[in-house]
Amino acid sequence: MRTLLGFGLGFLALWAALSPCIAIANDTDAITILQRQVADLTRALQDVQASQRGQIPALQAVGSDGVPGQRPKKADGLEWHVGGYAKFDAVFSSRSAGVGSIADDFIVNSAIPATSVGEKDQLKFQARESRLWFSGTKASENGIGFKVHLEGDFFGTRGLEQVNNPHQFRLRQAHGGLTNLLGGSSLLMGQSWTTFQNLAAFPQTTTLGVLPGQVFQRQAQVRLTVPINERFNAQVAVENPETTLFSAATGATVLIPDDDRLPDFIARVNLIEKWGTASIAALVRQLRCNASTGCGGSDKATDSGVSIAGRIYTIGQGNTRDNLRFQMQLGRGMGHYGSGGIFPAAVLNAAGNIDPVDSFAFTLGYQHWWNRVLNSALIYNYANASGLNTVAAATDDAQSLNANIMWWLTPRALRPRIHRCISTVRLRRFREPGSFHQFGAFQFLKRSSTLSAGES
């Protein structure tokens, strides 16, 4: 190919040199045309040479689906993605969580209203879950790769609804790392989803909020992932600690001593098979409270928890297979790792000492594909804690039932991705001493992944 292009360039150059003898009357136009042709052939030769070096010309970057701008871009060996989506939510709630409460936008277990106080049948429109992200990867000469990911949405400080809804951008994830280390291992540093949870086990929901049985937490950490074989890999991590307490004296108000001295330690083993994926994770953490932050004296406790989660495919083919998704976690002192922080890690008793809280929770969801563009899901959640009987108005039991149906207006393989969903959820929480409260919501959403270079 290079030889042919070189021959063509030489021939055209010779013809250009002799053209005054051939057509003197039109020499100006002829030379202009030939100069353009030479320039075009020169660019074609440069593109061929670049492709042979494994590079993509900067102006020719296209997506895997052939749509310009959707393909990861490459520049000086750096491959990068820019992605995101715009999402509209319409939420109708049986009770309001209160004026300006974020729990009116999505589910917050601890904010399920205990009384209506005249706030009934509330309608809320919002687009705050709209999301943007940037990610990049680059390989070094020794084969080690570098990667970075930044992501955020608009659930920062709430703006005034009567003045243009200027909701602020907030950080969701920000982490970098190294890949292809010794034995194919990888290292992540920064804020990401906790290692204690398995993202593949997340049920299909329409809301950003946490259902009672879920592990749901993003936080700063250092995580090492080591492949064992084609089926297994192991992960170990140290993550940001945060002791959360309820006080027997002040009731169900979260107290954060801010006295932590050791990170939370988490280990997880993942199994990946054709039938699905499963994982088991273990958590060990220290709870600590000093006298200067409200404790009767300096006190600490070492506690632990375990999580089992996974996704099992049942019937169907490809990415439209029915699947069962499950999570189960139990332990002592897990605190914010389970159920969206509805339970504290411990209770500060009358003597000012730490009494860790035992908790158990699970999520079970089934997703069914009716055809290639229509699916539905049914999800049940349950969470229970013991050791809260001395704390007035503390939630010690919560459960929910969620059903939704989702349909894609454009094929999932194409951009932009557009889908709509209708969902209904019913939640119930039990509070000390012996009362319970119910909450129902109906939600419609439309989501357009106009910039997507991947899902996160």
CB-based burial label for 200 (10 Å; 0-12, 13-18, 19+): middle
Q: Which of 328-337, 347-356, 393-402, 424-433 has the lowest mean pLDDT?
A: 424-433
Cα dist. 202→173, 210, 216, 325, 341 in Å? 17, 10, 9, 7, 17
pLDDT higher than threshold 80 for residue 96: no
Comparing C-alpha atoms, which of 306, 323, 319, 229 is closest to residue 268?
306
Compute the distance between CA of residue 393 and CA of residue 115 in angstroms, rounded to an integer: 12
pLDDT at site 443: 81
Cα dist. 199→22, 196, 431 in Å? 72, 10, 30
Report, as an integer, the average pLDDT of 71-77: 60
Amino acid 167 reads H
Backbone torsions φ then ψ of 137, nearest 5 degrees: -135, 150
Ranges of H-type helices in 149-214: none
Q: Note the residue count of the chain.
A: 456
Compute the distance between CA of residue 156 and CA of residue 145 in angstroms, rounded to an integer: 33
Q: For the chain, report the end-to-end CA distance as a whole number of angstroms.
A: 42
- Which string of DSSP letters, residue by residue, matches 216-259? --EEEEEEEEEE-SSSEEEEEEEE-----EEETTTEEEEE----
Compute the distance between CA of residue 109 and CA of residue 377 in angstroms, rounded to an integer: 20
pLDDT at site 343: 92
Q: Which of 13-22, 349-358, 394-403 has the lowest mean pLDDT?
A: 13-22
pLDDT higher than threshold 50 for residue 426: yes
Q: Which of 130-139, 160-169, 203-212, 384-393 has the lowest mean pLDDT?
A: 203-212
Radius of gyration over every alpha carbon of the chain, rounded to an integer in angstroms: 29
131-139 and 120-126 as β-strands: parallel, antiparallel, unpaired? unpaired
pLDDT mean across residues, the chain:
80
Per-residue tokens: 258? 């801010």
Report, as an integer, the average pLDDT of 422-432: 77
Report, as an integer, the average pLDDT of 243-251: 89
Nearest-10 Cα torsion for 54, 57, 61, 65: -50
Instruction: Tell me the per-residue pLDDT of 15-73, one tens digit each, with 9 for 90 and over.
Output: 444 344 333 344 555 566 666 666 666 666 666 555 444 443 333 333 333 333 345 55
